[in-house]
């Protein structure tokens, strides 16, 4: 029998029904185990690990006869799951990734033909701030020269920007991956045809399928937005269309209708942007702010639907591209989340790290007096992202949490807007703790890992 030693990585344990969830504390790896598999893994947590002979003897004394080769196969499965190493060396987090801004969100203008109550940048028909075409072209050139990849054009309503076609063409000419976020009301057929030719993603926002609900939040019925959605699906296709929805207290009851709408139309990607009390939203907190029960309902409903839609519809959730990627990809906490590698440029030229940092503490500068490339090299930005690399380790509630490598502190935006501090868990932390065990067990039943 081999003298190879098996040593468990640092683990956290959660019991859910008849399954033991073993969760790595150094990488986002986990498994839902029955009693026999859990006993094997727990035995390997001893200092110095255990040999196959030791494990075989202990297993047979407790559970009965098993062939050494079969037991070795089970151990190999646990090793493949990232929970065991084949010697006494302990698994370590991967090295820090080099930081580079990959995504720029450009608010071409502040003017909008709606006045949504939750708008974080306060878009409205009377707003006049906008970037000049020359400023946008230069910004895009600098971004591409710095290795940028993704561009999101927003506003306000970007379709109202007078030089929108020229800007979209320049994004494509630079080989950048473009997305436009629109409310759909003014989206004409020739604009859709242009976006289709250029390979853009098109995101259209609604906040209620029921006319009264959407009108309460966005000021009008969703009819024109739904018409734009249908035209976009026909012309651009479902693979490059994104339906955007902001869950708030006033529309959380719309989720079943939203899900039916998505299934009926063959939509393949849903973006859920969590509400934060910033911008115009601070004046409407009574109708927008969810309590603990609402947050739990939202998180449970969204994860259950994400599992139901595996292979059919992808749900993006705030900082996370594909909400289930937390459970299905191997990622160490020292890696930056892809959506944290972005900066936001406002219609007045101000530059901030994504949307959560629109406060003086995180201001990088203004493209009207400093080259965008120089702002991307800002010490403020590098300091912030160094902080984000180990954010979960620096957050007291997260530091010893067994779900740390899965959740990694949740949304930076939610944490900062709720607490004024990035080293804090987001507002949905308790809901995640309540829902994650069932999510993990359900995913394991769909694709079992390790011995059964």
Q: Give tens-digit pLDDT for 6-36.
A: 999 999 999 999 999 999 998 888 999 999 9
pLDDT value of residue 342: 86
Under CATH, to which class is 5-93 assigned? Answer: alpha beta
Write the pLDDT tens digit of every residue in 237-248.
Answer: 999 999 999 999
**Ranges of the chain whose pLDDT falls below 70:** 1-2, 86-99, 319, 329-340, 355-358, 447-452
Q: What is the pLDDT of residue 401?
A: 94
Question: By CB neighbour count within 10 A (0-12 exposed, 13-18 middle, 19+ buried), where does 25 fall?
Answer: middle
Tokens for 398? 């997260």
366 φ, ψ (degrees, to nearest 5): -135, 135
Concatenated DSSP letters of 241-265 = EEEEE---TTTGGGHHHHHHHHHHH
Q: Which pLDDT value is given to residue 288?
A: 96
Ranges for all domains in the chain classified under CATH 3.90.930:
5-93
Cα(332)–Cα(336) distance, integer angstroms: 9
Predicted pLDDT of residue 313: 97
The CA-CA-CA angle for residues 201, 417, 225, to 5°, reads 35
pLDDT in tens, 52-104: 999 999 999 999 999 999 999 999 999 988 999 865 445 555 444 566 788 99
> How far is residue 307 CA from its own chain's centroid?
16
C-beta of residue 30 within 8 angstroms of C-beta of residue 24: yes
Q: Which residues contact 304 (CB under 8 A, 6 or more apart)?
A: none
Q: Tell me: the pLDDT tens digits for 321-357?
A: 788 888 875 443 344 454 457 899 999 999 998 765 5
User: Which part of the chain is CATH 3.20.20.70?
Assistant: 103-389
Q: Check residue 130 and report its DSSP letter.
A: B
- Please say whether the structural domain 103-389 has been given the CATH code 3.20.20.70: yes
> Which residues, 6 or more positions from 228, have their beta carbon under 8 angstroms from its beta carbon?
182, 184, 185, 187, 204
Q: Please choose, from the candidates 157, 250, 237, the residue with its C-alpha nearest in 3D space to the C-alpha of residue 205.
A: 157
Please give the full DSSP string across 310-376, using - where no structure is assigned. Answer: TTT-EEEETTBSSTTHHHHS---TTSPPGGGSEEEE-TTSEEESTTTT-SGGG--EETTTS-HHHHH
Both tokens assigned to 227: 């018409």
pLDDT in the model for residue 333: 39
């Amino acid at each position: 029998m081999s003298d190879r030693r098996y040593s468990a990585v640092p683990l956290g344990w959660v019991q859910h029904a008849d399954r033991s969830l073993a969760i790595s504390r150094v990488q986002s790896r986990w498994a839902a185990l029955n009693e026999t598999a859990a006993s094997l893994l727990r035995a390997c947590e001893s200092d110095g690990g255990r040999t196959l002979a030791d494990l075989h003897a202990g297993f047979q004394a407790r559970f009965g006869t098993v062939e050494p080769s079969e037991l070795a196969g089970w151990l190999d499965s646990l090793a493949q799951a990232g929970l065991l190493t084949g010697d006494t060396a302990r698994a370590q987090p991967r090295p820090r990734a080099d930081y580079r801004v990959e995504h720029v969100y450009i608010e071409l203008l502040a003017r909008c033909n709606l006045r949504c109550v939750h708008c974080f940048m306060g878009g409205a028909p009377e707003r006049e701030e906008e970037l000049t075409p020359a400023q946008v072209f230069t910004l895009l050139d600098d971004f591409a020269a710095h290795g940028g990849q993704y561009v999101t054009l927003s506003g306000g309503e970007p379709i109202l920007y007078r030089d929108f076609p020229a800007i979209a063409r320049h994004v494509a000419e630079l080989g950048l991956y473009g997305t436009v976020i629109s409310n759909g009301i003014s989206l004409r057929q020739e604009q859709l045809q242009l976006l289709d030719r250029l390979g853009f993603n098109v995101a259209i926002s609604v906040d209620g399928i029921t006319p009264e609900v959407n009108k309460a939040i966005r000021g009008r019925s969703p009819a024109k937005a739904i018409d734009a959605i249908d035209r976009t699906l026909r012309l651009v296709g479902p693979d490059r269309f994104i339906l955007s929805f902001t869950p708030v207290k006033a529309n959380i009851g719309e989720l079943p209708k939203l899900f039916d709408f998505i299934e009926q139309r063959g939509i393949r990607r849903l973006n859920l942007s969590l509400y934060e009390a910033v911008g115009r939203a601070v004046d409407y907190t009574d109708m927008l702010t969810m309590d603990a029960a609402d947050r739990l309902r939202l998180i449970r409903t969204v994860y259950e639907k994400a599992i139901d839609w595996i292979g059919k519809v992808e749900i993006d959730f705030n900082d996370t591209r594909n909400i289930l990627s937390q459970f299905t990809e191997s990622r160490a906490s020292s890696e930056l989340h892809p959506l944290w590698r972005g900066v936001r440029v406002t219609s007045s030229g101000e530059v901030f790290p994504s949307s959560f940092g629109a406060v003086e503490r995180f201001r990088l500068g203004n493209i009207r007096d400093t080259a965008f490339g120089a702002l991307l090299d800002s010490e403020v930005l590098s300091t912030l992202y160094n902080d984000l690399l180990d954010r979960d380790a620096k957050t007291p509630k997260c530091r010893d949490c067994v779900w740390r490598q899965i959740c990694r502190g949740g949304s930076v935006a939610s944490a900062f807007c709720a607490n004024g501090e990035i080293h804090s868990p987001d507002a949905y932390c308790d809901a995640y703790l309540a829902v994650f065990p069932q999510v993990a067990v359900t995913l394991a039943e769909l694709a079992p890992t390790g011995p059964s």
